[in-house]
Structure 1
Amino acid sequence: MATKNKVGRPSKLAESIEKAKEYLMGGFEAVGDVVPSVAGLACYLGISRSTAQEYAKDNVEFSGTLEAIKTLQENKLINKGLIGDFNATITKLMLANHGYSDKAEIDNKSSDGSMTPKPTTIQLLPVEPKHE
């Protein structure tokens, strides 16, 4: 049984895999994106974000490139945010998509101490038996 050679134009997915790598390796900057993103990649490829997600489900190489784009985005957000090149509010919002958060613990104490929680103690007293 002979194997069939594919002839003709490469598939949209095969083309997208190569272009996605280009986007990751600096193409995002060439098109004016400050950080790489799935939305930016979708625009670069001329597809929707949902199509990009479908490609990632169907192809391990495309999925890996998509993850690398997210990782590079995270790295750029951290570094550019720390040196003040990026808007702090937007950086914080975008980093939330990478699992970062700023949790504030609230201590319920008033400045004068009047609302300081007091421990509750229970004192057990011996009970005398009733005599009838």
Structure 2
Amino acid sequence: MNYEGGQFSAAMFSLFHAAGMLLPLLAAILYMIAYQSGARSILYRIFSFLVLLLPVGAVLAWVGVPILCLSGYEPTGDDVKKFLDSSGVHPLAVTAAAALLLAGCIGLAWKKKILQNYWDAVAREG
């Protein structure tokens, strides 16, 4: 993300760079909380699974890029790298936090039966 003008604190810069991952993640979590596991519609079940997949790519970047930074490869212009620079947080802490977020999302999806209902819908069609 880019910006023009303005004065930001280190915390605001960090939040600014993390927002690209946090907004879709928050939207997916809210959707999963509202998910109705008893719904029988195949379209609803497949759509719900796809909503779960939306933030996975972004969260996986927050798992992998800090490890790349530790190994000496620092991708330029990446939001994760910008977050690490502006926040001063150790890359392994960012990796651990992102992995916990990912595990929490998968756990919530399992508890709400999004994953099980998706596989059931796919098996019925196949």
TM-score, normalised on structure 1? Answer: 0.32
RCO comparison, higher one (Cα < 8 Å, 6+): 2
More helix by share: 2
Over alpha carbons, which structure has the higher Rg? 1
Query: TM-score by structure 2 length?
Result: 0.33
